[in-house]
Amino acid sequence: MTAPVIAAAFSIGYLAITLRLCRGIELNAKALCLCGLTCALTLVLASVMIPLPTGAAITCGSWIPLMLLALIYDYRLAFLAGWITGILVILLIPAWQPVHWAQLFMEHLVCFSCLGYAGIFGSHKRRQIFTGILLAVFLKFWGHVLSGVIFFSQNAWDGWGAWGYSLTYHLSSKIPEAILTMVIVVLLPLDTMRKALNKHP
C-alpha cells in the first residue's frame, strides 16, 4: 500500500509544479513547429531500442530532443512537448502500451515532460546544464521505478521483490543512457544553436 501512495504523491506533486511553471508560455507558430518537430524526433528515436540482458533497453538518444528544446528555446515548451509525446507514444510504439489507466499519469506524462527540467536552471554555463540534466534524469528515473513497482511487479525476478527488481531494471538502462545523453548534449554547440534559432521570429 505504501508504493501507490508514494507514486500518487510523486505524480500529483510533479504535475502540479510543472503546470505552474508553464504559466505564461507563448504558443506562436514558431513554438508549435518546434514542439511538433521535437515530438516527432523523440518518437522516432524512442522506437529504436538496444536490448540489455536485464530485459531493459536503451533508446537511440530519445532524451536529447526534449532536452535541447528546453536548453536552447524554452523549458516550458519542452514540458508541453513531453506531455504530447507521452500520449502519442501509446498509439505509435507498442513497447509503451500501458497496462493500467493510471500509468498514463504516473509514467507517460512524467517521464517525457520531465526532460524539460534540463533547462530549468539556464543553459549559458556548463554547471547549469549539468544540474538541469541531473534533475531531469532523477525525475525520469523515479517515475519509471515507481511505475515498475506498481504495474510490473509480476515480472520481478525470483527473490528480488518489486522494489529490488524495478530499481535494478531501470538502473541498468537509465544510467548508461543518462551518461550518453549528457556527453552528447554538453558537446553540442548550444550557444550557436540558440543564436541560429533566435535569428528567425
pLDDT at 85 over 90: yes
CATH number, residue 163: 1.10.1760.20
As for how many domains the chain has, the answer is 1
Q: What is the pLDDT of residues 115-134, one digit of tens each?
A: 999 999 988 888 999 999 99
Contact call for residues 166 and 172 (beta carbons, < 8 A)? no
* Helix (H), strand (E), coil (C) string for 40-69: HHHHHHHCCEEECCCCCEEECCCCHHHHHH
Q: What is the pLDDT of residues 33-79, one digit of tens each?
A: 999 999 999 999 999 999 998 888 999 999 999 999 999 999 999 99
Q: What is the pTM of this model?
A: 0.92
The total of other beta-carbon atoms located within 10 Å of residue 45's CB is 16
Predicted confidence at residue 167, as pLDDT, reads 94
Cα distances from 107 to residues 87, 144, 151, 158, in angstroms, run: 10, 6, 10, 25
pLDDT band (50, 70, 90) for residue 201: low
